[in-house]
Structures are given as structure tokens and as C-alpha cells.
Amino acid sequence: MRKYPLTVAFMLLLSIAATAQRTDTAILLKPDRVFDGEAMHTNWVVLIQRNQVVAVGDADGIKPDGIYTTIELKGKTVLPGLIEGHSHLFLHPYNETKWDDQVMNESRAERTARAVVHAKKTLMAGFTTVRDLGTEGAGYDDVGLKTAIEKGIIPGPRMIVATRAIVATGSYGPKTKNIDNELVKGAAEADGLDALIKETRTQIGNGADLIKVYADYRWGVNQTSTPTFTVEELKTVVAVAASAGRKVVAHASTEEGMRRAILAGISTIEHGDNGTEEIFDMMVKNKVAYCPTLSAAEATSEYAGWKRGSLPEPQRVTVKRKSFAIALQKGVTICFGGDVGVYAHGDNARELEAMVSYGMKPIDALKSATSVNADVFGYGDRIGRIKKGLYADVIAVDGNPAENISDIRKTALVIKNGVIYFNNSPK
């Protein structure tokens, strides 16, 4: 067993202790304004006891009993902890290391070490929950990461995990020209009803909170995106997952892939690059939500040489902008999720800025990242709002993000499950 010098051990303990502050004493938050997940309010306060919100409302109507601590948040906005809807904590930006090289050449130990760092960065940026949509070759390590966070071993957000995700054989990477090479796959391959039933149950049995399928992918002629599973196959996955109380989400960027996923009863469409008026009408009718991942398209375009403002907008970005505008006009339920991991963890707010830049009102973007995501993901009775009885996942930022969405980056306070992880307010 390795022994640390006393001073090093002491510093390690201090470092761990400084990560979070747990107290049973009630906490009264006094900001300039409170966004409760639905609307912005002035002269409101929030009272937290242990891991729950016990009161929220007009300051004159809330009088705490017993001993409590007041945190003055002048000039600040209090919000529910933000919910990242599309993350990959086991990936890091592709301009650092290409996706193939991450999956094939980075050890599981390295990838987990990176994920631990990514989890902390995400939490400190004010994102107290993430829906992590696939480990991309790291097996069920997201389940272990989630457990470590829940046990308080490491700081991080609440995790809703998809584990391995499911793809049609031959559709997903990494790939090699020498087919005799055995490669680690970025997701689990399964085909036909029996294999899909087994894989869905296996992932649930190993800790998946939801199932992710790839309804299409770049495996067509000249690597064009084409559908992978039939409607019947997708319906089978949905039915099996539903019997275990799980939702199914679909990577889908083509019109036909989206159509099949919608008909199968998928909960959310991820990406939706080529959504049409007809497709978005179907989504509204079938109550399927849309997670556009605008920032991923921008980031990969930048990695390929695009310079915003000095070069014409790439087609991929233009296509995203068009589909997002149609979805807004049609009244589709829009989730917040940026495909973080394609770009840096902790920079999750980039997607909120993109959503507003593409035409969404700032207040609606804030709803998307809080109450909308909570409801769509099936967690609305626990998180996503500042409401009596819900978990005390609460953040504060300088300024007013309902007027300037970039104020969401100015994190001043992060509380998850009643534990203070970050607080730079005056003592």
C-alpha cells in the first residue's frame, strides 16, 4: 500500500473536504430573482433543509423556524440545477483526439479518469444532472461512475445513463479496412427481434436507466446516412424497455430514420438534422421531443477549419439552423442537450447560447434546460424546478440569463441534493 507523507495526506483531505459542504442547518437563499423552472420572479427566496426545497416564494411570506443560514445573492438569479440532455462523459473534444483513437487507443483506466474530471467540471458549471447517452466503447463504466458520485466518492452531477447504446451490425465504428482485425466497438451490435430483446434486457440488467438506439447512421453508399433498424425492430426495443419502466431515445438525422423512430414510440430524437415540416408534425402528434445538439455541428465544423464570421456557414450548420427553426415554428417540445464530449465538458452553456442564437427566447431555453428536460426524461417529480418537496438542486448566477443567456456561465453557487459544492457569494 502506498503511503503519503503526512503533509501530502493532509492536503488530500483538505482537497476532498473543500469539494462539498453538507449541513443539516436550513439554508435561506436571498437573490434578486428566482427562475423556478417555469417563470422568473422577483422578491422571492428559497428555503432548503437537508436535501429538499421546503419553501419557495415571496420573501415576506417565508419565515424559517429554528436555526438557519442566510446566503445573500445580491445581483444574482437562482435557478433549478441545469439538466444536460445529451452528454458523453467518456469522450473529450475531437480536436484533441479523434473519436476512433479515443475508442481504440485510450485505455479504460484513462477514459474513466477523464470522465471523473469531466463530471466535476460539469457540476461546477451548474449542471446538476446529465443524461449520458453512451460510453462509446467503455462498456458499463458509466454505471460505475454514477455509483461513485452517488456514494460521494467523487463530485459530479446526477447521472441518467444509457450504458453501451445499440447499433445494427456493421453500421457503427470504429472500422478497419482489414476485416480480420478485432476492434472495440463504440456501441453494442444487435440484429433481429431476439437479439434486440436480449441486448436491451442485458443493458437494463447492467444498470441502464434508458436505452439508446441508432435509428440511422453513416453506413450508406459513400458514407451517407441511411436507416439501420426496421420499424418492427425499433418497436420491439421500445416495448421491452417500457416493460422495465425505461424510455428509449434514438440517434436519428435522416427523414426516414426519424420517421421510423417516431412510429416506434421513441421518447426523444437526438440530432434531427434533416427534420421536415411533416416529420416535426409527426413528432408533435406522437409527443416525441427533439434534442437538436446544435453545438456539436458547430464544433466539428470549427475543427474542420470553419471560422465563424470570416467564412461562409458550413452546410451542416445551415441544415441544423433550418430544422431548428421549423421545430420552433411547429411547437415541437425541444430538449436541451449539446452532445458534450464532442466539445469540452464544463462548456455546456454553449448549447443554450446556440439555441437563443438560432431563434429561441432565452426564457424558453432556460425552461428547456430545467423543467422541460425533467418532464421529458421522466424526472419531473424530483428535479427541474424549484418547488417544495423536490430535491435541492439549485444554482445561482450573476446577472439575469432571461435577458442575457450568457449570464448562465457566471456561476456563483452550486447546490446538489442539498450539498453546497461551490459558493463564491460574500460571507
Adjacency order of strands within the sheet including 127-132: 82-87, 127-132, 158-161
Residue 330 pLDDT: 98
Mean pLDDT, range 98-112, rounded to an integer: 97
* Cα Rg of the chain, angstroms: 22
pLDDT tens readout for residues 257-303: 999 999 999 999 999 999 999 999 999 999 999 999 999 999 999 99
395 and 334 in a common domain: no
11 pLDDT exceeds 50? Answer: no
Is residue 100, in this structure, part of any structural domain at all? yes
144 and 45 in a common domain: no
Q: Mind giving me the DSSP string for 191-235?
A: -HHHHHHHHHHHHHHTT-SSEEEESEEE-SGGG-EEE-S-HHHHH
102 and 31 in a common domain: no
65 and 86 in a common domain: no
CATH number for position 282? 3.20.20.140
Residue 23 pLDDT: 63
Q: Cα–Cα distances in Å, from 98 out to 215, 316, 365, 423?
A: 23, 19, 30, 36
Is residue 197, in this structure, part of any structural domain at all? yes
115 pLDDT exceeds 50? Answer: yes
| Residue that the C-alpha cell 474542420 belongs to | 304
Is residue 361, in this structure, part of any structural domain at all? no
**Final residue belonging to a domain, choices 299, 317, 347:** 347
Alpha helices in 137-191 (DSSP H): 141-150
203 pLDDT exceeds 60? Answer: yes
Q: Cα–Cα distances in Å, from 89 out to 115, 120, 163, 184, 304?
A: 5, 10, 11, 18, 23
268 and 155 in a common domain: yes
87 and 44 in a common domain: no
Is residue 120, in this structure, part of any structural domain at all? yes
Residue 188 pLDDT: 98
Is residue 412, in this structure, part of any structural domain at all? yes
Is residue 370, in this structure, part of any structural domain at all? no
Is residue 8, in this structure, part of any structural domain at all? no
Q: Give the predicted TM-score (pTM) of the model.
A: 0.94
pLDDT tens readout for residues 373-419: 999 999 999 999 999 999 999 999 999 999 999 999 999 999 999 99
6 pLDDT exceeds 70? Answer: no
Is residue 210, in this structure, part of any structural domain at all? yes
94 and 75 in a common domain: no
305 pLDDT exceeds 50? Answer: yes
Return mean pLDDT, the chain: 94
Structural domains in the chain (count): 2
Residue 21 pLDDT: 66
195 and 88 in a common domain: yes
CATH number for position 66? 2.30.40.10
269 and 165 in a common domain: yes
**Final residue belonging to a domain, choices 296, 322, 347:** 347
68 and 198 in a common domain: no
How far is Cα 361 from Cα 16, in angstroms, rounded to an integer?
Answer: 39
Mean pLDDT, range 26-50, rounded to an integer: 97
**Final residue belonging to a domain, choices 294, 324, 347:** 347
167 and 134 in a common domain: yes
| Domain that residue 128 falls in | 82-347
How far is Cα 40 from Cα 188, in angstroms, rounded to an integer?
Answer: 43
pLDDT tens readout for residues 343-382: 999 999 999 999 999 999 999 999 999 999 999 999 999 9
234 and 170 in a common domain: yes
Per-residue confidence at 19, pLDDT binned at 50, 70, 90? low
* CA dihedral angle for residue 400, residue 374, residue 296, residue 258, rounded to 10 degrees: -140
